[in-house]
Amino acid sequence: MQRISVTVTLNRSTLQFDEAAFQRLEQYLADARRTLEGNPDREEILADLEQAVADQCTRRLAAGATTITLAELQPALDEIGQVQAPGPTLSVPGGAARPLRQISEGAVISGVCLGLARYFGLDVGLLRIAAVLLLFVTGGGMILVYLALMLLMPYAPLERGGKPLRKIPAKSRSFVEYVRGKLGVAAA
Amino acid sequence: MTAETKLAPIRKGLLEFLVLKIVGARSVYVADILRRLAGTEFATQEGTLYPLLSKLRREDLVLYEWQESDAGPPRKYYRLTEAGKAQLAALDEYWNLINRTIADIGT
């Protein structure tokens, strides 16, 4: 017994792949997912890559053919290339600094750690561990620091047309916006 | 080490500057950016460009809107934000300064 073809939805396109091509594609996307670990834009980038694969494969498919094989997929992946994490942000001496912003997408609570990690170029996992350790060391005082940062740090704009936020980041964000509104602070 | 490998990190860093320049010249699709860079020392693949564009969007330098296309699904159409234009102007100016310095030293 053998599976003849697999129907795959790639972002906004649906295509037929044979088994070998399907496995190669799964491997490519899994590699990309791993490379983008910790990147707040990971899901968006993966969606872009899926769409690129769909477009490239469709373009390479011979007239009349419906199933994508390695003959189409491999050159398509070669043209798209392995996913590369972007380099550090360019900055001009004396120029405007990177904005310090909370990042709601992919946040655990409100996105303070994610924002700080992005700003200082640190690993967000390490920063979160440090925050939890500080919580114990300070006997809960860290909660006040987090709350203060949450209320003071502006939010980075949400991805347009992106997935809805998870429950806690969404709740945190509306809470912060509510408090800022009450205090008459312009919410960024 | 050849001159080319020595300059590889510089090329990688400058890609962001060039992408801002291309997006700043007129609103573009990803295919336009790839085409503009193809055949230059900065020839780039989608696997590199998408993460870079997402980062620039996250930093408020570019934004995109969805545009219907004749064939296939809608495409992202990128342009610079006000912050992106300011950043590009600053980078342009600094790049000219570097160029002058390089030209002046050793003459």
Per-residue pLDDT reduced to its tens digit, A137-179: 998 888 999 999 999 998 887 766 667 888 999 999 999 989 8
Element (H, E) at A130: helix A124-137
How many Å lie between the alpha carbon of B52 and the closest alpha carbon of chain A? 5
A141 token code pair: 């005082």
Q: Which residue of A has its CA nearest to B54?
A: A41
pLDDT of residue B73: 81
Q: Per the domain annotation, does A120 fall within a domain? A: yes
Q: Is A92 exposed, middle or buried (0-12, 13-18, 19+ CB in 10 A)?
A: middle
pTM exceeds 0.90, yes or no: no
pLDDT of residue B36: 94
Rounded to 5°, the CA angle A166-A170-A172 comes to 125
Q: Per the domain annotation, does B8 fall within a domain? A: no
Residue A17 pairs with which residues in a beta bridge?
A6, A68
CB contact under 8 A, B90 and A159: no
CB contact under 8 A, A80 and B90: no
- Residue B28 pLDDT more than 50? yes
The residue to which tokens 């009450």 are assigned: A182
Q: Per the domain annotation, does A98 fall within a domain? A: no
Residues A13 and A61 in one domain: yes
DSSP B28-96: B-HHHHHHHHTTSTT---HHHHHHHHHHHHHTTSEEEEEE--SSSS-EEEEEE-HHHHHHHHHHHHHHH
Per-residue pLDDT reduced to its tens digit, B58-88: 888 999 999 887 777 888 999 999 999 999 9
Q: Per the domain annotation, does B40 fall within a domain? A: yes
Q: Per the domain annotation, does A126 fall within a domain? A: yes
Query: What residues make up the domain containing B86?
Result: 15-104
Q: Is A102 exposed, middle or buried (0-12, 13-18, 19+ CB in 10 A)?
A: buried
Q: Per the domain annotation, does B95 fall within a domain? A: yes
Residues A22 and A76 in one domain: yes
Q: With beta carbons under 8 A apart, name residues in chain B contacting A88.
A: 13
Structural domain total, chain B: 1
Residues A123 and A176 in one domain: yes
Query: In a mutagenesis test of the B interface, which of A45, A80, A98, A103 is the best target, namely the one with the most B β-carbons within 10 Å?
Result: A45
Q: Please list, in sequence order, all residues whose beta carbon lies within 8 angstroms of the beta carbon of residue A42, skipping any fewer than 6 positions away.
A: A33, A36, A106
The residue to which tokens 């979160």 are assigned: A128
DSSP SS3 for A7: strand
Q: Which residue of B has its CA nearest to A98?
A: B59
Residues A123 and A172 in one domain: yes
Q: What percent of chain B has pLDDT over 90?
A: 55
**Could you say which of B50, B52, B76 has the minimum Cβ distance to residue A49?**
B50
- Any CB–CB contact under 8 A between B95 and chain A? no
Rounded to 5°, the CA angle A113-A91-B22 comes to 110
Residue ranges of chain A with per-residue pLDDT less than 50:
187-188
Q: Give the residue from A62, A80, A98 where a domain finishes.
A: A80
Q: Per the domain annotation, does A118 fall within a domain? A: yes
Q: Per the domain annotation, does B66 fall within a domain? A: yes
Enumerate chain A positions whose Cβ falls within 8 A of a Cβ in B.
Answer: 11-13, 32, 36, 39-41, 44-45, 48-49, 51-52, 55, 58, 79-90, 92-93, 95-96, 98-99, 103, 118, 156-157, 159-161
Residues A74 and A118 in one domain: no
How many C-beta atoms surround the C-beta of residue A49 within 10 A? Answer: 25
Query: In a mutagenesis test of the A interface, which of B55, B59, B95, B101 is the best target, namely the one with the most A β-carbons within 10 Å?
Result: B55
End-to-end CA distance of chain A: 59
B17 token code pair: 């500057």
Structural domain total, chain A: 2
ipTM, interface predicted TM-score of the complex: 0.84
Strands B75-80 and A6-10, by their bridges, are: unpaired
Q: Please list, in sequence order, all residues whose beta carbon lies within 8 angstroms of the beta carbon of residue A43, skipping any fewer than 6 positions away.
A: A162, A163
Q: Per the domain annotation, does A107 fall within a domain? A: no
Q: Per the domain annotation, does A103 fall within a domain? A: no
Q: What is the CATH number of the domain that holds B91?
A: 1.10.10.10
Q: Per the domain annotation, does A105 fall within a domain? A: no
Residues A75 and A123 in one domain: no
Which of A76, A41, A163 is closest to B46 using CA atoms? A76
Amino acid (1-letter code) at residue A184: G
Q: Per the domain annotation, does A87 fall within a domain? A: no
Query: What residues make up the domain containing A65?
Result: 6-80
Q: With beta carbons under 8 A apart, name residues in chain B contacting A82.
A: 47
